[in-house]
Structure formats: structure tokens, C-alpha cells
Amino acid sequence: MQAVEIKNLSFVYSKGTPNEKLALDNIDLSIEEGSFVALIGATGSGKSTLIQHLNGLIKPQDKKHSSVIVGGKNAADKKTLKTLRFEVGMVFQYPEYQLFADTVEKDVAFGPKNMKLPADEVSRRVKRALETVGLDYNEFAERSPFDLSGGEKRRVAIAGVIAMEPKILVLDEPVAGLDPAGRAELLALIKKLQKEVSPTVILVSHNMDDVAALADRVVALKDGRIVADGAPRDVFSHRAFIMHIGLDLPTAARLVDKLEKKGITLSKRIITMAELKDALLSIFKKRAKKRGNNMGYAQINAVTDGNKNADENVEECDGASPVDEKAKGDESSPVSDEKAEGDGAKDENDSGSAGGGEDV
């Protein structure tokens, strides 16, 4: 079942003024229930405008041609709008700025109370929400949200959203401004929320490492249009295209490119650091074996965990190759790419292909 179905959606800001700006340009997008979608794109690409349509904060301008159906409800329909807002939980950037009540309990209870739930259900949900985000109810319920640390405040704000037990959770840059420990905790929490509370998650993020680690689908916007849509591994493997639309790569993919410039070729389908580690370990393993064989030259098939192989090549390292970054894309190593592609690499832990050989 589709959690979100958007058809022909366009949106113009300041229509009819000199500042008129087309923020969304004929967007078609369906999101399957249970999926984790990352929405990426530069500032001003239309991400925020798009997500605000999901719970009717912005209504389609052209009701004749556009439609936004969320959880089976038309987001433009006033009668179901209130229910829709309970079903689509929105965590905006810096959500802690929206805390308002004098105790944590009251703040988190605000949403469920508005749902007109019975008092005992409200309190059950507040407890569950606080516990889910990792805050002890007894310790935090009576405290003022304004006396908490930055990370705690953000978790209270998120608890306020999930207390409504939304079917769809939309998060706009949820880890912005947090320190490394806070980031790691919150990212783990988001994965947990998908399992326990909101099966469909839409994450807006500029951090491609987070996207690679969490999402099973990535949708890229540029100037209000969808320019890429697919599994992160597929989308990020098209280097020339990624550069063309001005997107970043996950660190692991960037390192693969840097290594390639130095003559070490790895799969372009590597997107997480764990995969890169496996690929490198496998090269070093081969190397050690080869040294043992005392071979001067070899083209070696690498086998990583027995499920994959590819011909990879390690050229001379110090020959800092003068390859222009812009000039190269997928075409520079079609062999390793195609080989890896065949495996589909659906599994998160599934390492990309890797291997080593050398010219000595």
C-alpha cells in the first residue's frame, strides 16, 4: 500500500510578484508504506515545500491537476485535515525551539490531548513516547523542558510528535547542531522509531553518510524537480551524474574515488564505511597471500565473504594520476561496476566487491 501518493504537484512562491519562485515543478512521487525514504538536495531545492504538503501545512495550489494523497486521505480535504495531522508526524529543524509547556509531561501530552483521547490513554502515550526516546518518565516528567540539555530537549520535542503515534514520520535535518554522541544516539533512535512507532519514515538530510546508513530509497530534488530516485547504492554509484546535480557523496564513496585516483580501484557501489573496510581488508589479505607466493605480477580475483568477486586493479600508488575529477564518472571503471551490480547488493551489510592485484 502507498503511504504517500503525489501527482503533478507544482508550487509557486509569491505568485504574481517579481519574487515569484517555482519551488516544486510537477512532482510525481509515491512512497510505499514501511519504507525509509531520504529526501536530499541543496538548500532551496524544494524539500521543505514538498514535506509541508504531506500534512496540509501547504495545500496544492492547482487543485484540478495536482493531488496529494497521504494514508488514503486527500491532504487538501478540510474534513480530514485534523486526522491527517495526527497521522503524519512532523519533526522540523531544531524542534526544541517549539517546546512551550512548563513541564516535559505537559509538552509531550499536547498532541495526544488534541486527539481527544481519554486521559489514561494520553498518559500511557506520554510514558511510552518518553521511554522510546530514552528519557526516564519519573525523572523527566515534572521538569521544565527549558532546563534540559540540547540533546534532551530535542528528544522531548520528538517524543511530543511520536506520542501521537503517527503512521508516517517526517524528520527535517533531525541531527543538525548535535554533538557526535548526540547524533549517533538520535540516528539509532530514528531507526528504532520506524520499527516501533511509525513504519514509514521520510528523512530530509544533507548528510550522505546518514542517508547511506539509514535509507532504503533516496529521492533527490533539484530546482523543484525529482532528479534521482532509487536505492542509495544505485543513486550514488552514478558519480558523473551526482556531480552534475551538485550532490555530495557518502564519505566511503568519496574515499573510493580518492583511492582510485591513486590507482586503487574499488567498487563504486560501496557506500558505507563498513563496506569500505571489508573491501580494503580483502585487498590486504590478497596482498599478503601473494607476497607469500612470491609472484611478481598478478591479476587477482577477490572474494569477500564468499559472496562476491570482481576484478580489481591496484596500479602503482605514487603515480598520482592526473585524472580530472570532473572528467571521470562511472565509465572509468565499468568492469568492477557491472560485476558488482549483478549482485544487487540489497543487504545493508553486504560489502561491495573488492580485491587487489598489482603491477610491480
Applying CB under 8 A, which residues contact another protein? 42-44, 147, 149-151, 176-182, 184, 206, 209, 246, 248, 251-252, 254-255, 258-259, 261-264, 273, 276-277, 280-281, 283-284, 287, 314, 316-318, 356, 358
Identify the CA nearest to 27 among candidates 42, 39, 15.
39
Question: What's the length of the chain?
Answer: 360
Question: What single-letter amino acid sits at 54?
Answer: L
Task: Say how far apart CA 281 and CA 355 lie, in whole Å.
Answer: 9
| Closest CB 180 distance from another protein, rounded Å | 4
Task: Say how far apart CA 143 and CA 136 lie, in whole Å.
Answer: 11
| Closest CB 136 distance from another protein, rounded Å | 19
Task: Say how far apart CA 352 and CA 275 lie, in whole Å.
Answer: 6
Q: Considering the complex, state which of residue 246 and residue 344 has its C-beta at the smaller distance from another protein.
A: 246
Cell representation of residue 356: 587487489
| Closest CB 26 distance from another protein, rounded Å | 24
Q: Considering the complex, state which of residue 284 and residue 338 has its C-beta at the smaller distance from another protein.
A: 284
| Closest CB 223 distance from another protein, rounded Å | 14
Q: Considering the complex, state which of residue 87 and residue 312 has its C-beta at the smaller distance from another protein.
A: 312
DSSP string, 133-195: TT--HHHHTTS-GGGS-HHHHHHHHHHHHHTT--SEEEEESTTTT--HHHHHHHHHHHHHHHH
Return the biggest CA–CA distance within the chain: 77
| Closest CB 178 distance from another protein, rounded Å | 7
Sign of CA dihedral 226, 172, 211, 192: negative
Q: How far is CA 194 from CA 132, 137, 167, 200, 218, in A?
A: 11, 21, 9, 7, 16
Q: Considering the complex, state which of residue 72 and residue 150 has its C-beta at the smaller distance from another protein.
A: 150
| Closest CB 274 distance from another protein, rounded Å | 9
Identify the CA nearest to 262 among candidates 330, 300, 318.
318
Task: Say how far apart CA 347 and CA 216 lie, in whole Å.
Answer: 10
Q: Considering the complex, state which of residue 43 and residue 294 has its C-beta at the smaller distance from another protein.
A: 43
Q: Considering the complex, state which of residue 305 and residue 338 has its C-beta at the smaller distance from another protein.
A: 305
Task: Say how far apart CA 357 and CA 187 lie, in whole Å.
Answer: 38
| Closest CB 225 distance from another protein, rounded Å | 18
Q: Considering the complex, state which of residue 200 and residue 351 has its C-beta at the smaller distance from another protein.
A: 351
| Closest CB 240 distance from another protein, rounded Å | 19
Q: How far is CA 151 from CA 92, 93, 177, 187, 266, in A?
A: 15, 13, 9, 12, 38
Q: Considering the complex, state which of residue 52 and residue 207 has its C-beta at the smaller distance from another protein.
A: 207
